[in-house]
Chain A
Amino acid sequence: MSTTTKPINQKAWFLILPMLICVAFSAVLPLMVVVNYSVQDIISPERRVFVGTEWFAAIMRDEELHGALWRQITYSFAVLAVELPLGILLALAMPAQGWKSSAALVIVSLSLLIPWNVVGTIWQIFGRTDIGLMGAALLGMGIDFSYTGNPVHAWLTVLLMDVWHWTPLVALLGYAGLRSIPDAYYQAASIDGASKWDVFRYVQLPKMRGVLMIAVLLRFMDSFMIYTEPFVLTGGGPGNSTTFLSQFLTQKAVGQFDLGPAAAFSLIYFLIILLMCFILYNWMQRVGTQEKEGGGHA
């Protein structure tokens, strides 16, 4: 949200009321249920025992969880480090007008519209050395590629799949932000004799700030709860090299049907994401306002 002063108007609550009702129905109610489960030992629907924070303590000590958490954090930051610069570059490279721009938009967004299990399937085939293009090509180059046997290959394949799948999201948002810059800004910049880098740094980047913030947070959250694609591609293996948090949770909740521990874990999981996004969100807000104060010409 912008930091400029806005008129105070409590009636604005009426404008957000419909939204609040909708979201409360689909978010607050279920969250209450999860909280309720997390403090009980559910032996059967009729027999429940209150156990307090026991599940939380047990989950916090879980070594497997620590492993999954670190893998998850590494993965999410790798995703951001690759996709954000690539997405911005792509947004800048996309043609602005004519049929080329339409074609580029449609082609770039294609991968976003494929259901997630299909994305997994596509890469499962694509990476196979016997019937897949990428696998066969890598094998031809003399690399003994195997995403099912080699943990490093598996991890890189999952990352590459995510880059293929989600960079377009960053690019599309960046592109929409770029198109909102009036031509006058560029004219003013060229009169000032600004270099390409200056134009990017002082005109394009500040104008893209809002949409890029959306992009960073979306990519962070979504990569933090990634489930379907690695599940289809590697099933979390080899070993547990690509077992991320959601998969760990689903194994607990659905595989072992431990409702109490699963609910406790859900809440911890949720709080971790909340904390990280809170930090990122505030950090980007601060960087944004400093930028406005520091380089507010153009």
Chain B
Amino acid sequence: MHKPKFQKRSLFMIAYVVFALLPIYWMVNMSFKTNNEILAGFSLFPQHFTWDNYKTILTDPAWYSGYINSLIYVGINTVISLIVALPAAYAFSRYSFLGDKHVFFWLLTNRMTPPAVFLLPFFQLYTSVGLMDTHIAVALVHLLFNVPLAVWILEGFMSGIPREIDETAYIDGYSFPRFFVQIFLPLIKAGVGVAAFFCFMFSWVELLLARTLTSVNAKPIAATMTRTVSASGMDWATLAAAGVLTIVPGAIVIWFVRNYIAKGFAMGRV
């Protein structure tokens, strides 16, 4: 009885994987071609295999500094988001207090604000405090959508942990910080992993705000990539190679997070 079900699922999975990978394969395929070959015609494999596009990116500081800048502000942003979101999510999942529902919904509204709305105010604010073109400016701006998201995800995971665990720990004489770090945090590891992944992701792919707040020193890779559009014609090959490289850091992060998601909760064992 189990076998046919499993095969149907596998078929669906395989079909989706093909759908998910084809456009990416096409980009990888292009990144190994020369511009002439791309524009000359249609081919499933690179006819004249070349690493030149990657060499251009890895040796030209204008290109690779973009990756470093992006990683720095994304890292700062993820750490701050998690640090402020963890206690807040705990408060929302465990206690009721004056205005809790309103604050929670207000948080979500920040996630809903189109970034385009805040472009100009952010620009003026960070110019006036002298933070323009710094990593910290972009990291702070991205808190706008990442903190609500982190609180939201963590609250969901925390609500899945029975409250008896907290109460038992307090009876056993744990103080709040010790309980939180030693008992509670390991229980919601999966949630922390997922939240960190989403913070990383949304900060990594955001372009509009990051580009507006930076010019040279903290210019993100996504902004660097837009310059191939204005170059002579369209530098498809280098753009494709840069695109392939933007997937790499994220793929590494999800590789670490996968264990947290896969392990799931340790509920029921405690």
Q: Which A residues are closer than 8 A to B by beta carbons?
A: 1-2, 5-13, 15-16, 18-20, 22-23, 25-27, 29-31, 33-34, 37, 89-90, 92-97, 101-102, 104-118, 121-123, 125-126, 130-134, 136, 164, 168, 172-173, 175-176, 179-180, 182, 184, 196, 210-211, 214, 217-218, 221, 224-225, 227-228, 245-246, 249-250, 253, 259, 266, 269-270, 273-274, 277-278, 281
Contact = CB atoms under 8 A, between A and B. Distances in A.
Interface string B202-242: 00111110000000000001100110000000001001101
Given A12-B95, A112-B201, A175-B261, A227 B117 contact: no
A9 B254 contact: no
Contacts of B261: 105, 172, 175-176, 179
A40 B147 CA distance: 32
| Centre residue among A27, A246, A259 by max chain B CB count within 10 A | A27
B121 A7 contact: no
B171 interface: no
A227 B247 contact: no
A259 B159 CA distance: 43
Interface of B: 5, 9-10, 12-13, 16-17, 19-24, 26-27, 30, 38-39, 41-42, 44, 80, 83-85, 87-88, 90-98, 100-101, 103-105, 107-122, 124-125, 140-141, 143-144, 147-149, 151-153, 155-157, 159-160, 190, 194, 197, 201, 204-208, 221-222, 225-226, 236, 239-240, 242-243, 246-247, 249-251, 253-255, 258, 261-265, 267-268
11 contacts: A13-B98, A33-B121, A94-B13, A105-B254, A114-B246, A121-B243, A123-B23, A133-B23, A180-B160, A182-B268, A249-B114
Nearest to A265: B117
Contact of B20 (A168, A228, A278): A168
Contacts of A108: 16-17, 20
Contacts of B159: 1-2, 210
A250 B116 contact: yes
B95 A9 contact: yes
Nearest to A6: B96
B114 A118 contact: no
B121 A29 contact: yes
B239 A90 contact: no
B207 A228 contact: yes
A93 B16 CA distance: 10
Contacts of B97: 8-13
B265 A180 contact: yes
Contacts of A12: 91, 94-95, 97, 100
Given A102-B262, A106-B254, A114-B246, A34 B121 contact: yes
B114 A246 contact: yes
A33 B91 contact: no
A131 B40 CA distance: 8
Contacts, number: 295
Given A114-B243, A210-B160, A106 B255 contact: yes
A9 B100 CA distance: 11
Contacts of A246: 114, 116
Contacts of B124: 33
B27 A269 contact: no
Nearest to B149: A218
Contacts of B258: 101-102, 105-106
Nearest to A248: B116
A29 B125 contact: yes
Contacts of B30: 125
A101 B262 contact: yes
B262 A97 contact: yes
B102 to A, nearest CB: 12
Contacts of A2: 93, 159
Contact of A115 (B20, B85, B246, B267): B246
A199 to B, nearest CB: 11
B26 to A, nearest CB: 5
A273 B21 CA distance: 33
A226 to B, nearest CB: 9
A22 B147 contact: yes
A107 B17 contact: yes
Contacts of A89: 12
| Centre residue among B20, B30, B242, B258 by max chain A CB count within 10 A | B20
| Centre residue among A18, A25, A125, A182 by max chain B CB count within 10 A | A125
Contacts of B83: 18
The 6 closest A-B pairs by CB, nearest first: A113-B250, A179-B264, A30-B121, A15-B91, A33-B121, A225-B114
Contacts of A29: 121, 125
Contacts of B190: 176, 179-180
Given A33-B120, A179-B190, 9 more contacts: A18-B84, A25-B143, A110-B21, A115-B246, A179-B261, A250-B116, A253-B119, A270-B109, A281-B105
A259 B119 CA distance: 11
A27 B10 CA distance: 45
A113 B208 contact: no
Contacts of B267: 180, 182
